[in-house]
Structure 1
């Protein structure tokens, strides 16, 4: 599939687009089949696609008391507290309508709706006692054990508009011009598995819920559409210029507290509480109002693509101004006591980038380098600033390199793909609010220990997606074994949210068996797990031990699960 590469038709004429399309087709559990609508005119091409998905997930391990006794992890752990509990029972539909007139003007609409029958009972907590006279229930992250509207929408039942845009393709002086306006995703650069390190950083909000549920999901698949306009002009046969201007902003969807896969019980985009344990009791800190950028805030990007005749591949040169989509978690303080915690989003980051993609034999190779000015850095819950509207900021340098390798026929498989990516981040300087930077050698991280989650100046992350395939194992049935591992190899990411977004020793992994039936329906059985390094333990005032600090999402160590997913299109 990847050996017979052709020049891609469209903006920038980049060969790597063909290879990436092949990779995504291999990694996606379903091929799209269009239902053509007869308009009675040969000028119109109208397609309506529908994809129905069902996912049944089961908890593989019981609760580890060292996690369930932590008052900031118990809500998520006790929501489904026994091995064998159904943690997701989700039915969803994706509907897509595309119409084109004579191939040069048209529109696209898409939306999805879902219902998860496993989440109907609301929040749950440890049934025990945290301190004399203080139950875990009284420290619950959600008031009255009721989920926020955000959690209800994205975990219980909801719907959303995805794409909603019009396009127009034309020529000026025999040079192609491509225009789009509306709500859609725009994705620049070559990074596949490194959302925080790539040139596409914050080009759209990302679905963090999906990222934890499906390890190895590509960055492009995690992006959420946003209102914007874009244009690409083919200036010469080798050079194309692209521009993007955002007409709206939205935040990334965090894995929400009180659900099975979470970062922390308090990580809720809606009313919730953060628990700060003390020697005799606990401080319950309410969530305050978020600080968000304006909807239209001069977010734009410029890109020059060059496909030189002397090489098989392309280079890209980028400049972007952006507002970030992942929040700082900040606190306001009075008399040494936090009065609230709140989410705040960084504005006005400047990014300069370079990308190169080429082929070495049958292997597609990608490279990126980017510099970000005043990007958000990992920020600690520190009283160093009484009223906090922004967290730590700084300048970082990122490198991402990857390879897509087609698997040749062997005694173990017939075909397939192997994708590997390495991302490197170097902190050049801390430019603002250094007293809040959660980094080794800074006052906001008094332990000065990366194994407690302190960020380091250098971070290396990596990801591997291995998918061998066996064709026509049964009549009309192809089998594959999608296997993924992503995580931190060295150091902790200084980019916000720090070790929660990339930490040494924190890995997500999955292994599965997938059947593609008549190129239309898939059935996938997967085991999905997580591993983070635990560094210190504590004891509650009632004498219960619990894991206190570590590196990465330590609360997920007892939450591996088994997924059975079915998907079909019509």
Structure 2
């Protein structure tokens, strides 16, 4: 179980992929293609965006990372500087049809293939223990990717939006209803999760493989009913009720940007011995996820205030040990906390040339970062620790004025603050400083959670117009840094001293073709060093995403829309 304890100390330091981004630096800018324009009263459009992403490892393996059996499969998947870590072609197709601006429908879907990925799992070629090669500590049966990992990393397809809408009046109040699979994003947060926490699952696989994607662009559509109404010129209300559960996606174990090899939905073994058991999540069909929003935009404010209540299921899992109640066999499994209450307030306001946003939320009974268990009172391992947290996200956006260094551009700064107020259940599993059972060193530098945490995200994107006829250039620069503490919840965020950054050069050609060359880097503080039974040294603990310290990479992205 030593490997599982190591995982318990690193869970809150998973990559915050999917919640870091620059402003759409590679998204295609072409207009939608109108179809069947001769049909009276109908507005029909069909877009298809094709993209190609090539990635190359920028440095070789650090043995202190590659010798850790939790990280060896991901680190050795592409083990040499210069290896191609992604060679991915994809297409996103979007179809919209609207009749008299009253009702219509939207369907979208994507398809992809990555030529860099085969189905085999690579591992450290050495022996972990005498007579025990690393390949015996495998996370996949027969050291072959399962169907889930193969789908997202080799080739697959996904239905995204699929909903119908109707615009109508309630009295004199303009209103609308949407029914089907869609995304709805509440609040002002751009990089860190604020009021939208758990509102949509997040595609962290895309967020890690395609740096430069904003949080709202990573949302996975979810079946729901959404009703909105402008009851006065300054007051609007919205309500939503969900018909399905969708978990967030994270880089899978054994892939280049995977974390511990046995995580998440794709792998099926813990160090070659303990199988992954059934996922504990809400059953299919209607359940208790819903939300209400009221916004007020008084003229004197020159902005908008919002008030929120949501009942939600976490989209990010605990990873727990348990015992099958029928066979008594041990397993490890993912589990998602339900019936979390969120109370929130938002404010967005223009202050001179600056756009500002604020999200404040209080979550009751939310999932806390937890050890693996199980507890004597729950040998099946259904739940980790829960608690109450206060979450604050504030941002400022500004346009760049013309200077000798650039023509125009944009800049964003966002701060995220989380405060654990109390633990409400399963306190023995809370993986935080002060709990000697789950955090035996008592140190945040070994990845243990702290009651409070502060992180910052900065995006700076200077732009140069018409550097050549028909060519605009910009330089998207992004960094996310953990200023203080390690977040107490299961939501990934940078641990203290953890840095993720990107710097790139993007060209928009003829307002249609996009080319982006980008360097993606990571740095976090490693912790204690130990040795394998064969004497190989490795980092056994650390803070933030220390297991990415040797996985910097370069990406080239091409895209266009027609």
Secondary structure at 2:539's aligned position in 1? Answer: strand
1:266 maps to 262
1:482 maps to 476
1:392 to 363, 366, 385: 385
Partners of 1:76 and 1:261 within 8 A in 2:
yes
Q: Please, which moves more after superposition, 258-267 or 337-346? A: 337-346
Q: Distance in 1 between matches of 2:451 and 2:210?
A: 29
Q: What does the per-residue CA deviation read over 1:61-113, in whole Å, with 9 as the maximum and x for residues that have no partner? A: 01111111111111111111110000000000000001111111111110000
Distance 1:32 1:352, change over 3 A: farther
1:9 maps to none
1:363 to 354, 358, 365: 354
Q: Distance in 2 between matches of 1:534 and 1:303?
A: 42
Answering whether residue 296 of structure 2 is matched by residue 306 of structure 1, we say yes
Alignment of 1:535-550 (within 5 A): 535-550=527-542
Q: What does the per-residue CA deviation read over 1:182-203, in whole Å, with 9 as the maximum and x for residues that have no partner? A: 10001000011002xx000010
Q: Distance in 2 between matches of 1:389 and 1:121?
A: 32
Distance 1:80 1:505, change over 3 A: same
1:440 to 418, 423, 433: 433
Q: Distance in 1 between matches of 2:380 and 2:223?
A: 32
Q: Distance in 2 between matches of 1:181 and 1:468?
A: 40
2:100 maps to 102
Q: What does the per-residue CA deviation read over 1:18-58, in whole Å, with 9 as the maximum and x for residues that have no partner? A: xxxxx997645321421111252230010000000000100
Q: Distance in 1 between matches of 2:49 and 2:461?
A: 23
Distance 1:28 1:188, change over 3 A: farther
1:418 to 392, 411, 415: 411
2:510 maps to 518
Q: Distance in 2 between matches of 1:525 and 1:75?
A: 27
2:496 maps to 504
Shift of 1:170: 1.4
Count residues with an aligned counterpart: 535
Shift of 1:453: 0.7
Shift of 1:379: 0.4
Secondary structure at 1:430's aligned position in 2? Answer: strand
Larger RCO, structure (CA 8 Å, separation 6 or more): 2
2:241 to 239, 245, 258: 245
Partners of 2:26 and 2:514 within 8 A in 1:
no
TM-score between both structures, scaled by the size of structure 1: 0.91
Partners of 1:329 and 1:341 within 8 A in 2:
yes
Alignment of 1:90-489 (within 5 A): 90-195=88-193, 198-215=194-211, 217-275=213-271, 284-295=273-284, 296-332=286-322, 339-382=330-373, 384-385=375-376, 386-442=379-435, 443-489=437-483
Q: Distance in 2 between matches of 1:480 and 1:226?
A: 34
Partners of 1:382 and 1:444 within 8 A in 2:
no
2:18 maps to none
Alignment of 1:17-56 (within 5 A): 27=25, 29-56=27-54
Shift of 1:378: 0.2
Partners of 2:320 and 2:374 within 8 A in 1:
no
Partners of 1:193 and 1:216 within 8 A in 2:
no
Shift of 1:294: 2.1
Q: Distance in 2 between matches of 1:487 and 1:214?
A: 19
Answering whether residue 72 of structure 2 is matched by residue 74 of structure 1, we say yes
1:558 to 521, 531, 550: 550
Distance 1:563 1:215, change over 3 A: closer
Partners of 1:208 and 1:254 within 8 A in 2:
yes
Q: Distance in 2 between matches of 1:268 and 1:359?
A: 41
Distance 1:491 1:517, change over 3 A: same
Shift of 1:501: 3.3
Shift of 1:263: 1.8
Partners of 2:321 and 2:333 within 8 A in 1:
yes
Q: What does the per-residue CA deviation read over 1:250-305, in whole Å, with 9 as the maximum and x for residues that have no partner? A: 11112100000012111131342223xxxxxxx83321111111232111000001
Can you give the 5+ residue segments of structure 2 that lack an aligned partner in the other structure? 1-20
Q: Distance in 2 between matches of 1:348 and 1:57?
A: 40
Secondary structure at 2:76's aligned position in 1? Answer: helix
Q: Distance in 2 between matches of 1:287 and 1:173?
A: 54
1:65 maps to 63
Aligned CA RMSD, in angstroms, stands at 1.7
Q: Distance in 2 between matches of 1:472 and 1:203?
A: 40
Q: Distance in 1 between matches of 2:438 and 2:23?
A: 45
Q: What does the per-residue CA deviation read over 1:131-182, in whole Å, with 9 as the maximum and x for residues that have no partner? A: 0010011111111111011100111100000000111111232210011111
Q: What does the per-residue CA deviation read over 1:478-509, in whole Å, with 9 as the maximum and x for residues that have no partner? A: 00001100131110000115xx5331111211
Can you give the 5+ residue segments of structure 1 that lack an aligned partner in the other structure? 1-22, 276-282
